[in-house]
A = this chain, B = another copy of it.
């Protein structure tokens, strides 16, 4: 049977609730429980199960590895928040704020091991392939985070470097989730690879959409303050292209804002946003999102499965693209 997105999300959340944590030492396990209980969209395990369901009537065999990917994703958020000194995640204190930096380090490490414990429960005929794909992906996610931190110190990041960074930091894990589900569902190699491509492209579109919403989103629906990326000089797709397309005078203005240590946040956001508007950067970004989205959909259509089976994945992709938060 073809499960609906809601049914799959329910399966995922139930399995997460059923995780049997050791009681002690509680300072190791409490932050892991906390981190997994904060919710989130469960996109990665959902994509795994949807991909599995394309090729198999049953998604049971994919559920534990799918949960492993969700645990890994939450582990990366936990350590990234510590490295980025972020105090809030999903409206709650981050682990290093609620406990301590050391707790965040160690419970994160334990979480990564738990991710592997779940992924290791892949059926044995697929275990080696799934495991190798996951490890390769996990290392790429670390590389992406390293590039992201490196870029903070640089002012000459170009578009292709930026795309590669978000590919590593965000897109490959979505791709891995889809391919993992496909492998466990019994997909042919070509189809599993097409799902990987679909995930990679959707991931790129997803992250660019995030960049766009951070500047051009609606504060009420977006759920966090607009302009955060501008305030902290994040080298997003928008900023990189604004600099590239600017006149010398505009470049000076941007550089001026980038180097000011004290400034009125609202004025900085207005000034940079107005350059984005003058340079039609919003349109440029939307075009790029649409390009990646189209490439994703092309890969999805090329998969050798009845198009009706793909309907849930198509609807889900559309939602990711047209979301306002």
* Chain A residues within 8 Å of B, Cβ to Cβ: 22, 24-25, 27-28, 79, 82-83, 101-102, 105-106, 108-110, 112-114, 116-117, 120, 124, 127-128, 131-132, 135-136, 138-139, 142-143, 145-147, 149-150
Number of copies: 2
Check B25 against A109 for contact (C-beta < 8 Å): no
Check B109 against A147 for contact (C-beta < 8 Å): no
List residues of chain B with CB within 8 A of the CB of A22. Answer: 139, 143
Contact among B27, B83, B120 for A131, CB-based, below 8 A: B120
4 closest A-B pairs by CB: A25-B146, A28-B146, A110-B142, A83-B102
Check B109 against A120 for contact (C-beta < 8 Å): no
List residues of chain B with CB within 8 A of the CB of A147. Answer: 25
List residues of chain B with CB within 8 A of the CB of A108. Answer: 109
List 17 additional contacts besides A83-B106, A131-B131; criterion CB under 8 Å.
Answer: A22-B143, A24-B143, A25-B150, A27-B150, A28-B143, A28-B146, A79-B105, A83-B105, A110-B139, A112-B113, A113-B135, A113-B138, A113-B142, A117-B132, A117-B136, A124-B127, A124-B128
Contact among B105, B113, B136 for A82, CB-based, below 8 A: B105
A28 to B108, CA, bound (A): 18
Check A113 against B139 for contact (C-beta < 8 Å): yes
A79 to B28, CA, bound (A): 15
List residues of chain B with CB within 8 A of the CB of A132. Answer: 117, 120
A79 to B145, CA, bound (A): 18
> What would 17 A/B residue contacts be, using CB atoms closer than 8 Å?
A22-B143, A24-B143, A25-B150, A27-B150, A28-B142, A79-B106, A101-B101, A106-B146, A108-B109, A109-B142, A110-B142, A110-B143, A113-B135, A113-B142, A120-B135, A124-B128, A127-B127
A139 to B28, CA, bound (A): 10
Of the listed residues A24, A25, A83, A132, the one surrounded by the most CB atoms of chain B closer than 10 A to its CB is: A25
Contacts A27-B150, A82-B105, A146-B25; A139 near B127 (Cβ below 8 A): no
In the complex formed, the residue of B with least CB distance to A137 is B113
List residues of chain B with CB within 8 A of the CB of A101. Answer: 101
In the complex formed, the residue of B with least CB distance to A135 is B117
